[in-house]
Structure 1
Amino acid sequence: MSLRQTQIRQSANRPNLFMGGDRELVMFSGLLAFALIFSAFEFKAFVFGTTLWVFALFALRLMAKNDPLLRKVYLRHRKYRTYYPARSTPFYQNTNKQGKQYR
């Protein structure tokens, strides 16, 4: 009896992108630009907010082209500590013979 093989479709395995960039980051940058434009309600704020959003969208598209899951990788990286001490458990007691072996 052979193993059953199932086909994994590409549509079920794609990263969740919006407008070519990471979905959450693109929508958040659009929200920031929208808030800037409509809170100041000046032409300079409109130009600056639109320019900010276009450049943010460009940068997020480049980021997604290199690695679509880069945001998740970065967030997981931030959880790691900088140093992990070499020990098996804090409750392990070395004998005198073991302690002299490493001096």
Structure 2
Amino acid sequence: MRTLPVRRSLHRHNHIMGAERELALSIGLLAFVVGFGGMTWVAGVTAVLIYGGGMLVARRMGKADPLMVRVWMRHLKQQLYYPAKSGIWRT
């Protein structure tokens, strides 16, 4: 029987700098827009703080659970209250 190696790149999660790819790119884009939108040193410092703080939180989320952003987004979509009643098609 022939064995084939399983490459790590085929089954590991897609992370950039320890954070999920989409979240890291979104944080970078937000920091870029704030930094170049203001064109002042205050906007630059704010952009650096947004990027540093956002990546710190995103890396912690990625370390705790590699898919935590998707779980968090699904949690936000859920309803806060499900009334105790049957559907309209129940008899």
TM over 0.5: yes
TM-score by length of 2: 0.76
Change (3 A) 1:7 1:73: farther
Percent identity reads 32
User: How far has the Cα of 1:90 moved from its partner?
Assistant: 4.5
User: How far has the Cα of 1:9 moved from its partner?
Assistant: 4.7
The answer for the alignment partner of 2:76 in structure 1 is: 78
The answer for the alignment partner of 2:21 in structure 1 is: 23
Gaps of 5+ in 2: none
The correspondence of residues 12-91 of structure 1 with structure 2, limited to 5 A, is: 12-81=10-79, 82-83=81-82, 85=84, 87=86, 90-91=88-89
Gaps of 5+ in 1: 1-5, 94-103
State the Cα deviation string for residues 17-51 of structure 1 (Å, max 9, x = none). 11110111111111111111111111111111112
SS at match of 2:69: helix
User: How far has the Cα of 1:74 moved from its partner?
Assistant: 1.9
Write the distance in 1 (CA, Å) between the matches of 2:13 and 2:49: 27
Pair member with larger Rg: 1
SS at match of 2:82: coil
User: How far has the Cα of 1:80 moved from its partner?
Assistant: 3.5
TM-score by length of 1: 0.68
What RMSD over aligned residues (CA atoms) do the two structures have, in Å?
Answer: 2.6
